[in-house]
Amino acid sequence: MKEVPFDPANDDIMERLRNVPAFDALPDSHIREAMKAASIRRYDKNEVIISEGEFDNQVFFLIFGDLEISVHGTVVGSLKRLGDVFGEMGIIDGSPRSATITTRSTALVVALDDTAIGGMGDVSKIFTQAVMYRVFAEVLAVRLRDANDHISELNEELDKLKG
């Protein structure tokens, strides 16, 4: 993994961030403010980004790449879209990582450090936290909806098996 601080003068990264659903409605000045607590990380294929059971204070936004999600060694999903978010649950409730995220290709992510957000000035901190929690709410709502759909499908299959 190679890590560099977020550089607001990097037009390529700014353009990609403008297209992240969490940031697409924000002016560049707000994106730059939110990213003061961020770094850019480049991972090679087969590198672990986060490990199940570990603690840390970072949330990640996928810029490009193909990531595998596994729980207890079983692949349960993937992340491939610009702006896919992961690592948010530990930030919300302080719990250990619930999954391992491994790269299946070269990947670029924005890593936003919750501890660094806490060290920002009051206005920047409040603004950045508001943006992040909006993102978290949207992500968790989609995941809950998907989980409910999956449970419904499983219940239908169970009912068919019961005959």
Render pLDDT for 38-90 as a digit per residue (tens, 0 to 9): 889 999 999 999 999 999 889 899 999 999 999 999 999 999 999 899 998 88
What is the pairing mode between strands 2-5 and 74-79? unpaired
Q: Tell me the mean pLDDT in the region 136-147.
A: 81
Among positive and negative, which fits the CA dihedral 56, 62, 64, 70? positive
**What is the b/e burial string over 15-46, where b = at least 16 CB atoms within 10 angstroms of the residue's CB?**
ebbeebebbeebeeeebbbbbbbbbbbbbeee
pLDDT value of position 153: 92
pLDDT value of position 100: 98
Q: Tell me the mean pLDDT in the region 12-27.
A: 83
> Domains of the chain by range and CATH?
2-162 (2.60.120.10)
Q: Where are the alpha helices (DSSP H) in the chain?
A: 11-18, 28-34, 88-93, 114-118, 122-162
Alpha carbon dihedral 105, 108, 112, 115, in 10-degree steps, equals 70
- Of the two residues 129 and 163, the one the predictor is more confident about is 163
Average model confidence (pLDDT) across the chain: 86
pLDDT band at 125 (very low <50, low <70, confident <90, very high): low
Q: What tokens appear for 31 in the block? A: 């994106």
pLDDT band at 9 (very low <50, low <70, confident <90, very high): confident
